[in-house]
Copies of this chain bind each other. A is one copy, B any other.
Amino acid sequence: MRIAINTGGGDAPGLNAAIRAATLTALSKGWEVFGIRNGYGSLYTDDPFIPLTASIVKRITMQGGTILGAANRGNPFEYPYQKEDGTWAAEDRSDEIVKMFKKHKIDALVAIGGDGSMYIAHKLVKKGIQIVGVPKTIDNDIYGCDVTLGFDTAVSTATEAIDKITTTAEAHQRVMVVEVMGRYAGWIALHAGLSASADVILIPEIPFIIDDIVNKIKSVESRGKEYAIVVVAEGATEKDGERFVRGKKIGQAELLGGIGEFLEKKLGKLTGKESRSLVLGHLQRGGMPTTYDRLISLRFGSAAIRCIDDGDFNKLVVMRENRIQRIPISEVAEKVKKVQTDSDTVITARDIGVSFGNESER
């Protein structure tokens, strides 16, 4: 067997561990293993497949980033190119990929990626490439799996940042707003906010009412706690309000500083307290993976090879009900796993006094 591995989409801690485990497991079966650089990027070049050996993957389990690179220019089915007049257009270059796989006699691909990557994988499968996917995203929003590679590290980084911010918030009696990643799902905000004892957690799944946040801050203050921590997912949105994603109010071209800055100003004015905001941004994507992420990444990478070995293609290896399972990639594509607003974690948060900014309507 000759297999290839690639990593696509945004960076996530654990990618290298998955690459290492997939490579070593495949080598142990006597297979040949190759890396594709930058998503599918190197397939358009003269150096499409890089041989992966035990020594190349040595000591990378603990390294953030990906040794295969992730600087892809885009979806092979809508690959961007610049026209003569300087404007951009897109073309379908997927046939080149299929050709390269055939030319180099690659039997199967381990595609490590998020929903975008799985969408592409799904279409490549239809063109005859045999693929097994590994679910990766710090956002934890891939449908069909309990947890994705990179999420635990992102939550830990966010929690640690909120911990730091909290001591300063207390010293200065401030409202501190921490904006974390999560455009469509509030997993990082929910887990990090709860772990770091936030007073308010705002997620896309629960549109917030600004007065409910203000009431929570005042109620906290009335019990002698003179500061408040608000954790907000970048995609959280005001009820009956507009949607802000990184400053872009959807439906308008208006540029603002994002939901964090919006809340900083609004809450400062409405509570009369000093307030500050912080956007954690790319900090959440990088760094050494946690032990938890190292372990599931190794297990995912190795399980993907066993999946190939079983001839069980077009599957995503996932962690579900605390076991590695295989589900059809088609089941996952174009869906998002959202926070259930009646889940045990949300109930726990409410029970210990966290506001989700919608208490007046419950």
Residues from chain B with a CB closer than 8 A to the CB of A303 are 344, 348
**Cβ-defined contact, A71 with B274, below 8 A:** yes
**Cβ-defined contact, A159 with B194, below 8 A:** no
**Cβ-defined contact, A157 with B163, below 8 A:** no
Residues from chain B with a CB closer than 8 A to the CB of A135 are none
Residues from chain B with a CB closer than 8 A to the CB of A257 are 257
Distance of A59 Cα from B162 Cα, bound (Å): 13
Knowing A69-B173, A176-B282, A322-B146, say if A294 contacts B195 (CB, 8 Å). yes
**Cβ-defined contact, A168 with B285, below 8 A:** yes
Interface string of A325-362 (1 = CB under 8 A from B): 00000000000000000001101100111000000000
Knowing A195-B295, A351-B302, say if A278 contacts B281 (CB, 8 Å). yes
Knowing A28-B353, A69-B171, A167-B286, say if A54 contacts B223 (CB, 8 Å). yes
Knowing A62-B163, A283-B161, A295-B194, say if A156 contacts B290 (CB, 8 Å). yes
Copy tally for this chain in the complex stands at 4
Q: Count contacts on A: residues with CB < 8 A to the other chain.
A: 88
Distance of A20 Cα from B225 Cα, bound (Å): 16
Asked if A66 is at the interface of the complex by the 8 Å CB criterion, the answer is yes
Asked if A315 is at the interface of the complex by the 8 Å CB criterion, the answer is no
Distance of A163 Cα from B25 Cα, bound (Å): 22
Knowing A63-B167, A65-B170, A163-B62, say if A152 contacts B291 (CB, 8 Å). yes
**Cβ-defined contact, B195 with A61, below 8 A:** yes
**Taking the nearest CB of chain B, how far is it from the CB of A95, in angstroms?**
26
Asked if A197 is at the interface of the complex by the 8 Å CB criterion, the answer is yes
**Cβ-defined contact, A287 with B25, below 8 A:** no
Please, could you name 13 A-B residue pairs with CB atoms under 8 Å apart, sorted by A?
A21-B348, A25-B352, A69-B171, A69-B172, A156-B290, A156-B292, A164-B285, A167-B287, A191-B291, A292-B292, A295-B345, A302-B347, A323-B344
Knowing that A21-B348, A64-B167, A65-B168 touch, tell me 12 more A-B residue pairs with CB under 8 angstroms. A20-B352, A21-B352, A24-B351, A69-B171, A71-B172, A71-B173, A147-B322, A164-B287, A176-B282, A195-B294, A195-B295, A302-B352
The 10 closest A-B pairs by CB, nearest first: A64-B167, A65-B167, A164-B286, A164-B287, A321-B321, A71-B173, A65-B171, A24-B352, A302-B348, A25-B351
